[in-house]
């Protein structure tokens, strides 16, 4: 049985979202009620990624933190469930009370930190900024304008000015005042919609190994992923998905001949992946493989 540590791709990541363009993954350490906010946080990353919106990393994480406050209050007969959103995140607000803040201009340029010490302040300030921009009467009405400016390629500072008519220094002053205010969760009407059911499926040992190897590949950990897929092939020879993945890893490493070899094996073992077959054909053509040979390999 795999532990949560086996699935951790970053030192500070207790949970994460990742995607390879075809499949999306939200990885959590548990599915207890206490993990609900974490699950929402990661799902928001999926929504932002799928929407194609481009915002600074601090706003990406800040929005995920804001929506992690979502709570569902079960309904009674004749009364639908109630959804609450917003309010305080005590751990984040306490961090802001005891630590010196980063200048807003710097926060907006930073990538997501790689250490827990740096991440604590980054996430706290990011949450506070998103909370103010989304819920305050002064800023919420023009939040879409800000996102539009970000997606139009407008410089960060100018984006705020064009959306709100304020400099970053002015926004920062308002943010420090905002965090001192009491904050309460708001109630969201569900419009009578019914809650969707969550379907859980246990994975076989083979499926579990393949999932871990895939997550490592999607996360860019090529050597670790390669080792996992090679182990899968030792246990289950001729696994076409593992062979296809090894071909993808080889191509990312610049080993075109090895990629062709692995993809050839995968196709020969009845891999049903039209996209990979197409990429194999393109790579084969670039490498001088004849059309007759491609036909013999069932690729055209």
Coil, strand or helix at 76 = strand
Are 224 and 177 part of one and the same domain? no
Q: What is the pLDDT of residue 260?
A: 92
Of 71-75, 78-82, 163-167, 231-235, the poorest mean pLDDT is in: 78-82
27 lies in some domain: no
The total of structural domains in the chain comes to 2
Q: Which of 58-67, 200-209, 217-226, 230-239 has the lowest mean pLDDT?
A: 200-209
Q: What is the tens place of the pLDDT at every residue in 1-15? A: 565 567 777 777 778
Residue 217's domain is classified under what CATH number?
1.25.40.10
Residues 37, 42, 43, 46, Cα dihedral to 10°: 160
Q: By residue range, what is the domain housing residue 274?
A: 205-296
Q: Do 163 and 264 have their domain in common?
A: no
pLDDT of 295 > 60? The answer is no
* Per-residue model confidence as pLDDT tens digits over 24-35: 998 888 878 888
Kindly report the pTM of this predicted structure: 0.79
- Contact yes or no for 72/195 (Cβ under 8 A): yes
Q: Which residue among 161, 188, 215 closes a domain?
A: 188
Q: Which band of pLDDT confidence, cut at 50, 70 and 90, is reported for residue 44? A: very high
Measured distance CA(284)–CA(300) in Å, rounded: 12
Residue 130 within a domain = yes
Cβ-Cβ contacts under 8 Å for 205 (sequence gap 6 or more): none
Q: Of 119, 153, 188, which residue is a domain's last?
A: 188
pLDDT for 193 beyond 70: no
Q: Cβ contacts of residue 216 below 8 Å, gap of 6+?
A: 9, 222, 224, 225, 228
Cα dihedral: 171, 172, 175, 180 (round 10): -140
The Cα 179–Cα 87 span in angstroms is: 11
pLDDT value, residue 20: 82
Q: What pLDDT sits at residue 300?
A: 45
pLDDT(59) > 60 = yes
In a domain, 32, yes or no: no
């Amino acid at each position: 049985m795999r532990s949560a540590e086996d699935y951790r791709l970053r030192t500070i990541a207790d949970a994460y979202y990742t995607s390879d363009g075809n499949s999306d993954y939200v990885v959590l350490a548990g599915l207890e009620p206490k993990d609900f906010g974490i699950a929402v946080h990661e799902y928001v990353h999926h929504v932002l990624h799928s929407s194609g919106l481009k915002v600074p990393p601090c706003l990406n994480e800040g929005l995920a933190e804001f929506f992690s406050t979502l709570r569902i209050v079960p309904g009674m007969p004749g009364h639908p469930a109630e959804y609450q959103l917003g309010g305080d995140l005590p751990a984040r607000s306490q961090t802001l009370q005891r630590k010196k803040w980063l200048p807003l201009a710097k926060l907006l340029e930073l990538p997501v930190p790689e250490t827990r010490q740096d991440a604590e302040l980054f996430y706290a300030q990011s949450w506070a900024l998103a909370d103010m921009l989304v819920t305050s009467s002064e800023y919420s009405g023009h939040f879409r304008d800000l996102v539009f400016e970000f997606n139009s390629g407008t410089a960060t500072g100018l984006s705020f000015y064009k959306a709100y008519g304020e400099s970053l220094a002015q926004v920062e002053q308002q943010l420090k005042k905002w965090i001192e205010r009491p904050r309460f969760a708001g109630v969201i009407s569900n419009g009578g919609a019914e809650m969707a059911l969550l379907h859980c499926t246990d994975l076989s040992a083979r499926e579990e190994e393949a999932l871990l190897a895939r997550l490592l590949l999607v996360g860019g950990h090529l050597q670790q992923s390669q080792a996992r897929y090679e182990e899968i092939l030792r246990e289950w020879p001729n696994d076409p998905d593992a062979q296809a993945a090894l071909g993808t890893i080889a191509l990312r490493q610049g080993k075109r001949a090895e990629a062709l070899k692995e993809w050839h094996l995968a196709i020969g073992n009845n891999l049903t992946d039209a996209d990979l077959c197409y990429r194999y054909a393109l790579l084969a053509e670039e490498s001088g493989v004849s059309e007759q040979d491609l036909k013999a390999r069932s690729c055209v």
